[in-house]
Structures are given as structure tokens and as C-alpha cells.
Amino acid sequence: MKKLALVLTVFTASIFGVNAQVQFGVKAGANFANITGGGGKTLVSFNAGALVKLPLADALSLQPEVVYSGQGAKTTISGTDYKQTLNYLNIPVLVKYTIPAGVFFETGPQIGFLMSAKAKAGDQSESNKDAFKSTDFAWAFGAGYVIPDVNLGVDVRYNLGVTKIADGSDSKNTCFQVGLFYMFGESSKK
């Protein structure tokens, strides 16, 4: 998977040419995840990954990412705490519009590959990856601010699940993310 992401990044960067000011970055933040349809409560986790910013026009860019994302939900039934964790490798491909003040808006599709799943009831836990689909599709909506001339920024994003995460269930992933990112290279003004 890492080799595929690297090959796609290099290929895409070569299409845009040397003068396109392609930037690479890293990001990390908090996840506030839930699973629809089960009456669960928000599960707090984290996300971390890498991104590439490919300029398309003056204020418009394409931003593919590769992000580890801890998701799932928790609940309490008859005094027993239950937690379902789902760990994904998400690949969003976002269209990003940045205004000169450094504020940006982004949206785009995301595919997630289930890496692991674990159900925990009280003190007992077990892997239940086979109960879930191996891929998940979502649509991402986000906004943020990049500090001009510093390349450090903050963003908020909502990932709306559009496919069912398990056969025989209407449950979908939802995830609100808050994070920081840093872009390497020249200033991220666009």
C-alpha cells in the first residue's frame, strides 16, 4: 500500500510539472467518531498521516492524503461498557479552495481500508474484523486556516459515511476531525 501511494504521488507530481510548486505535508489530530443506527456515543481517537498539495489554478488545488484513522463507537448497556474500535487507512482526495487570507475550504471522496476491528465488553475484548466490510466510502467536508509564510495550519473536517460498514446492517461511519498540519517547502499561500 505504501509503495502504491508513493508511485501515485510521484506520477501525479510529474504530470503537473516542475514549476507547479507541489508541496508535501504531515498531519495529526483528534477524531470524534460514531457509528450511525446503533444508538452509540462518540468514541474519541486520533488520526495521523501525510498529504500532497497539487496546484490546479490560482486558488484551487488537489490534495490527496494517506491517513491512519481510529474510528468506532461506544455505549453502556445495563452497567456494562461496550466499545467497538475500527482502524482504517483512509485515502481522501480533496479539492481545496484557499482565499488570500489563508482560510480554505475542501471537499472530496474518501476510501477507507479496514486494518483492524476490536469489540470490547467490560474487561473482555476480541477481534471482530470479519464482521465488517474491508472498505468504507465517505465524503469529506472541511475548512481551516494556514498561517501565511509559516506553513503551519489547523483544520476541521467531517467525514460522512456513504456506504454500510457491515452486511445486514444500515450502520455507517461518521467522524468529526480537528487537527494540525505542516507543509514542507515554499509558503502555502494558495
| Res. 40 pLDDT band, cuts 50 70 90 | confident
Spatial CA neighbour of 186 closest among 6, 4, 19, 40:
19
Does position 18 have pLDDT exceeding 70, yes or no?
no
Beta carbons of 165 and 86 less than 8 angstroms apart: yes
Q: What's the pLDDT tens digit per position in 143-152?
A: 999 997 889 9
Q: At 149, which amino acid appears?
A: D
| Res. 16 pLDDT band, cuts 50 70 90 | very low
Q: What is the DSSP letter of 42?
A: P
Summarize the confidence of residues 165-172 as an average pLDDT: 92
Percentage of the chain exceeding pLDDT 90: 73
H or E element, residue 7: helix 2-16
Q: What's the pLDDT tens digit per position in 106-144?
A: 999 999 999 999 999 988 999 999 999 999 999 999 999
> Residue 33's CB: how many other CB atoms inside 10 A?
28
Beta carbons of 127 and 146 less than 8 angstroms apart: no
